[in-house]
Amino acid sequence: ASRKTKKKEGGAKRAQRASSNVFSNFEQSQIQEFKEAFTLIDQNRDGFIDKEDLKDIYASLGKTNVKDEELESMLKEATGPINFTMFLNLFGAKLLGVDGEETILNAFKMFDPDGKGHIHKDYLKRMLMTQADKFTAEEIDQMFKSSPIDAAGNLDYKSFCYTITHGEEKEE
């Protein structure tokens, strides 16, 4: 194989590895339904959803007066071109009710005024069980099972936020 082919194969492998977490969030039947929806919206069949595709899908539903700003706002929800993987990421975040990494990180930072990057698990447990939408002890134990907690009992909330929003790192 030529160098060009080898380069493409490597890139595809990296892209698959980077996006594999989103596919594990759904059943195969759900992924198929998302694929069908994506195909319906991708009116020009180029593998990407763009402003023209959105205009066309709205027109097919009888709405012809959609403003460009509305369409651009929709497209800006994605961090890049909307291919199927990005589409799945966008819907996955909304369906699974997961806030963005920055939002979750900012919430944890409120409990870390010194900016150490970690919070002691006992303090966090006490806060979560006594404030706002109170957690149960079982919910907290479940959270701590998949949390990076060191020997001193500190939760590395930056790593935890990454895990919440991107899935667990898989060893290869």
pLDDT digits (tens, 9 = 90+) for 87-125: 988 877 677 665 667 788 888 898 888 999 999 999 999
- Specify the domain boundaries for CATH 1.10.238.10 within the chain: 22-96, 101-166
Q: What is the mean pLDDT of the chain?
A: 80
pLDDT interval class at 67 (50, 70, 90)? very high
CA 41/CA 48 separation, integer angstroms: 9
CATH level 3 topology of 101-166: Recoverin; domain 1 (1.10.238)
Q: What is the pLDDT of residues 113-168, one digit of tens each?
A: 899 999 999 999 998 899 878 889 998 888 888 788 999 999 999 888 887 776 66
Q: Are 102 and 79 in contact (CB under 8 A)?
A: no
How large is the average pLDDT for residues 4-17? 40
Is a pLDDT exceeding 50 seen at residue 18? no
- What is the pTM for the complete model shown? 0.47
pLDDT of residue 162: 81
Among residues 126, 128, 109, the alpha carbon closest in space to that of 118 is found at 109
The torsion defined by the Cα of 139, 144, 147 and 149, in degrees rounded to 10, comes to 160
pLDDT confidence of 3, banded at 50, 70, 90?
very low
Nearest to 128 by CA among 117, 137, 116, 119: 137
Question: What is the predicted pLDDT for the residue at 17?
Answer: 40
Q: State the pLDDT at residue 110.
A: 87
- Residue ranges of alpha helices (H) inside the chain are 3-24, 28-41, 51-60, 68-75, 84-96, 101-109, 121-130, 137-145, 157-166
> Cα 3 from chain centroid?
33
- Selected from 3.40.605.10, 1.10.238.10, 3.40.50.740, 1.10.579.10, the CATH number assigned to the domain covering 22-96 reads 1.10.238.10
DSSP-derived pairing of the beta strands 154-156 and 118-120: antiparallel
Kindly calculate the radius of gyration of the chain based on its CA atoms and give it in whole angstroms. 21
Structure tokens at 157: 């909330």
